[in-house]
Structures are given as C-alpha cells and as structure tokens.
Chains A and B, each alone.
Chain A
C-alpha cells in the first residue's frame, strides 16, 4: 500500500472519486455498521431462534392445518416474521464475511455477495408474505 498514490489532495467528503478509491482499502465508514448489525441480529436471534426452533420441533410432524393455525395466530406470526428478518440479515453479513476471506477474485466476490443478498431478500420477502397471507386470512 505504500506505493499507491497519495490521496491527500481531496477528501472522501468532497470528492466522490476519492471515496471510491478509499473504499477499496477497506471500510468507507460502513464497516462498523455491518459489524453492529451482526451483533444486534445475533442478540435478537437468541430468544427468537430458541422460540422458533422449539416450535419447529413441535410442528415438524404436524399436518398443514395445525401448522397454518399456529402461523396465523398473532404472537407466532409476529415472532416468526421478526425471526425470519433477523435470520436473513445475520446470514447475509456472515456469508459475506466468509466470501471476503476466501473469494480472491474481485468480480467473483462482488457477484457472489450480490447473489447472497438477492437470495436472502427473496427468501425473507417470500417468508414474510407467506406468514402475512395466513395471518390476514384467519
């Protein structure tokens, strides 16, 4: 990094180009936000995860009617939606940090990280929609 051109002529605040160059070196001030998101979602997932996994083990062998009735009651519906959002947010940050460590081709890294994020948004959105459908239809 010592032989890269100096960036002292402008700051990231005044010049977009500088910000873009700075970003390549690491976090352009959004690194700690991701770090915090991982910890906060982890905290949320302790009670939500325990609640959901316990419910799942109880429901795993149940028929559709039982499962639908459970998911359409207010508290399970709310906690399931919160669980799914926290879960996929946590998964995106975690998987991205794995990708950052092991995918060394920049284009591949960007593509893989985008794919993970898109898949997570799709799955989380579809899950929330499924619960809402059951809840609103009751």
Chain B
C-alpha cells in the first residue's frame, strides 16, 4: 500500500535542461523563503515586544550576515514570484509550447534581477 513516489531524476536520468533546472530552483527558493518567514514572524514579534528583543533583532538584521540574508531572500522572493506567475499561466493553459517555455525561462531569469536591483536601489542610494 505505497503511494507512487517521484524519484529524484535530475542529475542521473535527465540531461540538463533550463526548464527542469528552473523548476528545481522554484522549490529551492520556496524552501528558502519558508525559512525566511521565521525571521519575518520574529521581526513582527520583536516590534511588538520592543526593548531589548527589538534591539537584538535589529542588530542581527543590520549586521553583514543579516543584510546578505535579506538580499538573498529578496532575490529568492522575486524569482519565486516571477516563476509562480508562470506556473499560474500554465495552470490556466498557456505557455506550454517549446518556444514559449524557453522564452518564459529566460524571462524568469532576467526579471528577478531587474526587480531586485529596483527594490534595493533606494536602500543603496540612501
């Protein structure tokens, strides 16, 4: 009485394809964002708690590690967002042709880069 399980096909059985690589990236960024949501919840709690707890949280976020984490999470967020929109388009029945699949692939590689730069520009400039 076992459910059919999907094996890990990518490195051993599949030739590298941008589409499958991006699909795995969608999962990886999803996991990373789930981990990041712990810090997000913690930050909300720290703002409500104030005092020492907020000071410690703020010190962590403002530290080099904190800033790098925030930057990586923002990249992961924008990628997961763009590729998520592509997933919704697939669910609606669009974008399955090979040409469209590749075009979409390059789009979800480029768009998060642009969005990340736009999001961080004000932070860097100030």
> A residues bordering B, Cβ < 8 Å?
4, 21, 24-26, 39, 42-43, 45-46, 49-50, 53-54, 56-58, 60-61, 63-64, 67-68, 71, 80, 84, 87-88, 91, 94-95, 98, 100-102, 104, 123-124, 126-127, 129-131, 133-134
Contacts and interface: CB of A to CB of B under 8 A. Distances in A.
A123 B88 contact: no
B70 A46 contact: no
Interface of B: 1, 3, 5-6, 8, 27, 30-31, 33-34, 37-38, 40-41, 44-45, 47-50, 54-55, 58, 61-62, 70, 74, 77, 81, 84-85, 87-88, 91, 119-120, 122-123
B47 A123 contact: no
B120 A57 contact: yes
Chain A facing B: main interface SS: helix
B61 A60 contact: yes
Contacts of B44: 71, 80, 84, 126-127, 130-131
A95 B34 contact: yes
Nearest to A83: B40
B37 A68 contact: no
B113 to A, nearest CB: 15
18 contacts: A45-B81, A56-B40, A64-B55, A67-B47, A84-B40, A84-B41, A84-B44, A87-B37, A87-B40, A95-B30, A95-B31, A98-B31, A126-B44, A127-B40, A130-B47, A130-B48, A133-B48, A134-B47
